[in-house]
Amino acid sequence: DIQLTQSPSFLSASVGDRVTITCRASQGIRSYLAWYQQKPGKAPKLLIYAVSTLQSGVPSRFSGSESGTEFTLTISGLQPEDFATYYCQQFHNSPFTFGPGTKVDIK
Residues that bind other proteins (CB under 8 A): 1, 32, 34, 36, 38, 43-46, 49-50, 55, 87, 89, 91, 94-101
Nearer to other proteins, 17 or 103 (CB): 103
Nearer to other proteins, 7 or 101 (CB): 101
Minimum CB separation of residue 50 from other proteins in Å reads: 7
Nearer to other proteins, 60 or 94 (CB): 94
Half-sphere exposure of 87 (CA within 13 A, CB side): 16
Cβ neighbours of residue 73 closer than 8 Å, sequence gap 6 or more: 20, 21, 23, 35, 47, 48, 62, 63, 64, 86, 88
Residue 67's DSSP bridge partners are: 70
Minimum CB separation of residue 100 from other proteins in Å reads: 5
